[in-house]
């Protein structure tokens, strides 16, 4: 089970995300990823027998990281709601000027179904948020606005300035109550 030198799996996953971000989602080839990860193509295929498995791994690690981060935020003192935690987490995620999830585009190009777990996750999150509030209208606005913020970051759209994003987050937190 244990890799010989280090944890190749995670190195490969990180390398894949890097390649997609820096060389563009269309340039995510197995060779590029292997090279970036300091691993041979054979080594990569040993860990991920197929490109599809690699994509799947990307999605799974993304989701588990997100879940962990959200849980951590929600458990922090001073958060009156999961929605607030989600807003703040997303705000921080979107601080990074570089989109960290360009690999999603590669995954979609490979097969749109790779996003199914992400959709399911979002549905589940939305459900959880719905149970928390009785003002569905406000929740919808907040939830979609966060979605919009995340999508802008994903597409690397620098439409909003730093101050505008801060104001947006403040407004959302106010709406969230």
Report the interface residues with DNA, using CB under 7 A.
1-6, 8, 27-31, 38-43, 45-47, 49-52
Q: How far apart are CA 125 and CA 127, in angstroms?
A: 5
Instruction: State yes or no: residue 177 binds a copy of itself (CB under 8 A).
Output: no
Please state, in angstroms and rounded to a whole number, the distance separating the CA atoms of residues 125 and 56: 20
The residue within the footprint of a copy of itself, chosen from 115, 117, 128, 133 (CB under 8 A), is: 115
**Complex with DNA: residue 40 or 151, whichever CB lies closer:** 40
Element (H, E) at 40: none
Choice between 39 and 87, CB closer to DNA: 39
DSSP letter for each residue of 90-112: HHHHTTSSS-S-THHHHHHHH-G
Q: Which is nearer to a copy of itself, 39 or 172 (CB)?
A: 172
Question: How many angstroms separate the Cα of 86 from the Cα of each of 24, 35, 75, 126, 170?
Answer: 28, 36, 12, 11, 13
Residues 13-52 contacting a copy of itself, CB under 8 A = 24-26
81: partner contacted, choices DNA, a copy of itself, none (Cβ within 5-8 A by kind): none
* Binding segment toward a copy of itself, per CB under 8 A, in 29-37, 40-48, 55-63, 168-176: 168-176
Interacting residues of 44 by C-beta distance below 8 A, sequence separation 6+? 12, 30, 33, 34, 37, 54
**Interacting partner of 136 out of DNA, a copy of itself, none (Cβ under 5 to 8 A depending on kind):** a copy of itself
Question: Is 171 one of the binding residues for a copy of itself (CB under 8 A)?
Answer: yes
């Amino acid at each position: 089970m244990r890799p010989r030198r280090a944890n190749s799996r995670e190195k490969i996953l990180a390398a894949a995300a890097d390649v997609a971000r820096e060389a563009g989602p269309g340039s995510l080839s197995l060779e590029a990823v292997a090279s970036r990860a300091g691993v041979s193509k054979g080594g990569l295929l040993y860990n991920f027998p197929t490109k599809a498995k690699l994509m799947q791994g990307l999605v799974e690690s993304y989701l588990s990281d997100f879940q962990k981060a959200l849980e951590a935020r929600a458990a922090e003192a001073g958060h009156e709601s999961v929605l607030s935690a989600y807003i703040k987490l997303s705000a921080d995620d979107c601080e990074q000027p570089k989109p960290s999830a360009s690999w999603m585009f590669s995954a979609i190009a490979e097969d749109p179904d790779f996003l199914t777990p992400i959709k399911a996750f979002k549905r589940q999150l939305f459900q959880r948020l719905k149970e928390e509030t009785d003002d569905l209208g406000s929740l919808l606005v907040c939830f979609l606005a966060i979605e919009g913020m995340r999508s802008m970051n994903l597409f690397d759209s620098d439409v909003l300035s730093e101050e505008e994003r801060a104001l947006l987050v403040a407004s959302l937190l106010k709406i969230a109550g």
